[in-house]
Amino acid sequence: MTDTAQIEAAARRLRAGELVAFPTETVYGLGADAANPAAVARIFAAKGRPASHPVIVHLASVDQLGDWVREFPEQARRLAAAFWPGPLTLVLPRGPRVSDAVTGGQDSVGIRVPAHPVARRLLEAFGGGVAAPSANRYGRVSPTRAEHVREEFGAAVGLVLDGGDCAVGLESTIVACLDGRLRLLRPGGITRAQLEAVVGPLTSTDEPAPRVPGSEKSHYAPATPVELVEPAGLEARLRALSAGQQLVVLARRAPSAGCAARAWRVLPNDAAGYGHALYAALRELDRCGAERILVERVPDHAAWDAVRDRLERAAARELPESP
Ligand code: TXA
Ligand code: MG
């Protein structure tokens, strides 16, 4: 666990412009002092991420928002009151002192007040905003355990605060609150229905949105190619491919007898339980040395939006030729 001395050491590192990995309830973040552009640049270097991509600024409290944004529209206030601290990021008009290193040069800034107790203690001890993307190399699966962060970065990240397994397990829901409209940019732990219960219907997302790396195809992907398969066709697909290939499966039910998969991982059949376990399961299956991960498609229901979004991105890379 994380004691006060570790939190203090982490806050000192942030003040010195160094990186600290820390847990949030969504995924682990790779943090730097958001007011120090050189420190933020270190995040991009460590991740191998293009510098034009914006990062989320994490705050201990909504009271600090005035340092970062120039407007806090009523609708955004209502969302913040309902869901902060929690797995929600609001994209708001940037304040005059926010650096381009954080915003990717855009006129907006992403802000989140996380709920994880270790994140909160770190943010309180540091006192300022902490810029943090997910603590994974660019384009890879986000970490939901401290050991995943160490797998990603080894000694390149000097301090990883360990807060155990992330409760949500998928990145935050992102809502842009710009030009008098609310747009859902990324589905996450807070569902569209939960948001709409507070602020009414959101604008649909099929119009041009601010740049979001998580919205690129083939984001969140394991190294092993991923193929999504309808539940009813899973065993048949497995039989068709397994003559020539080593396969692993991610499903919501146990395999039938005589199944040819090298590994078969069962995840819970509810969206929250599935989201919580998904990234760790993908990492495990990625290590099996299989040629393909077959993933049973999840239900069409809105409760599964965030999970379905991440699975579709994981499967977006072109698959090698198959029989
Ligand atoms: O749950 C999370 O959101 C985690 C934890 C660590 O907070 N962070 C995370 O960061 O997922 P990252 O960088 O992997 O994804 C953040 C997303 C990106 O898609 C980024 O483009 C978007 O937030 N974002 C940040 N600022 C933005 C802005 N001004 N306009 C549009 N999108 C923005
Ligand atoms: Mg990320």
Which residue has a Cα nearest atom 26 of ligand 1?
Answer: 110
pLDDT tens per residue, range 223-270: 999 999 999 999 999 999 988 899 999 999 999 888 889 999 999 999
pLDDT tens per residue, range 52-93: 899 999 999 999 999 999 999 999 999 999 999 999 999 999
d(CA 194, CA 189): 10
Q: Which fold has domain 4-199?
A: DHBP synthase (3.90.870)
Mean pLDDT, residues 4-22 taken together: 98
Neighbouring-strand partners of residue 109: 92
For residues 203 and 163, which has the higher predicted lDDT (pLDDT)? 163
pLDDT, position 203: 85
Cβ burial of 271 (10 Å; 0-12, 13-18, 19+) is: buried
Question: Which CATH superfamily, name and number, covers 226-314?
Answer: Threonylcarbamoyl-AMP synthase, C-terminal domain (3.40.50.11030)
Residue 51 binned pLDDT confidence (cut-offs 50, 70, 90): confident
d(CA 236, CA 168): 33
d(CA 84, CA 5): 27
Mean pLDDT, residues 205-211 taken together: 53
Using CA atoms in the order 36, 40, 45, 48, what is the torsion angle rounded to 10 degrees? Answer: -170
d(CA 59, CA 129): 5
**Which atom number of ligand 1 is nearest to the Cα of residue 104?**
29
pLDDT tens per residue, range 280-323: 999 999 999 999 999 999 999 999 999 999 999 999 877 776 55
Spatial CA neighbour of 120 closest among 13, 23, 20: 23
pLDDT, position 244: 85
- What single-letter DSSP state applies at residue 232? G
Query: What residue spans define the domains of the chain?
Result: 4-199, 226-314
CA 118 to chain CA mean position, Å: 17
Q: What is the whole-number distance in angstroms between the Cα of residue 210 and the centre of ligand 1? A: 11
Question: What SS3 class is residue 235?
Answer: helix
How large is the C-alpha radius of gyration of the chain?
Answer: 20
Pocket test for ligand 1, best of 58, 108, 179, 212 (most atoms within 8 A of CB): 212
pLDDT, position 217: 57
Of 111-120, 132-141, 213-222, which gets the smallest average pLDDT? 213-222
Residue 199's Cβ-side half-sphere holds a number of Cα atoms within 13 Å equal to 23
Residue 172 neighbours by CB distance under 10 Å = 28
Spatial CA neighbour of 275 closest among 302, 301, 248, 311: 311
pLDDT, position 243: 87
Helix (H) / strand (E) containing 82: helix 74-83
Which residues lie at CB < 5 A from ion ligand 2? 134
pLDDT, position 211: 52
* φ and ψ at residue 196, rounded to 5 degrees: -70, -25
- For 98, the token pair is 């926010």
pLDDT, position 103: 97
Q: What is the whole-number distance in angstroms between the Cα of residue 293 and the centre of ligand 1? A: 27
Pocket test for ligand 1, best of 55, 70, 99 (most atoms within 8 A of CB): 55
Do the beta carbons of residue 89 and residue 187 sit within 8 Å?
no
Spatial CA neighbour of 293 closest among 246, 236, 243, 239: 246
Question: What SS3 class is residue 111?
Answer: strand
Task: Report the relative pairing of strands 130-131 and 56-58 from DSSP bridges.
Answer: antiparallel
Which residue has a Cα nearest atom 21 of ligand 1?
Answer: 212
pLDDT tens per residue, range 144-191: 999 999 999 999 998 999 999 999 999 999 999 999 999 999 999 999
Pocket test for ligand 1, best of 174, 182, 211 (most atoms within 8 A of CB): 174
Question: What SS3 class is residue 223?
Answer: coil
Q: Which residues have CB under 6 Å of ligand 1?
A: 24, 26-27, 29, 53-56, 89, 91, 103, 106, 108-110, 112, 132-134, 171-172, 174, 185, 210-214
**Which ligand lies nearest to the CA atom of residue 138 in the structure?**
2
pLDDT tens per residue, range 295-306: 999 999 999 999
Do the beta carbons of residue 7 and residue 125 sit within 8 Å?
yes
Which residue has a Cα nearest atom 27 of ligand 1?
Answer: 110
d(CA 323, CA 203): 43
Residue 30, pLDDT > 60, answer yes
Do the beta carbons of residue 141 and residue 151 sit within 8 Å?
no
Do the beta carbons of residue 25 and residue 114 sit within 8 Å?
yes
Which residue has a Cα nearest atom 22 of ligand 1?
Answer: 212
Question: What SS3 class is residue 160?
Answer: strand
Q: What is the whole-number distance in angstroms between the Cα of residue 287 and the centre of ligand 1? A: 27
pLDDT, position 216: 58
The percentage of the chain sitting over the pLDDT mark of 70, rounded to a whole number, equals 93
Residue 206 binned pLDDT confidence (cut-offs 50, 70, 90): low
DSSP 42-64: HHHHHHT--TTS--EEE-S-GGG
Which residue has a Cα nearest atom 20 of ligand 1?
Answer: 212
Residue found under tokens 């006060």:
4
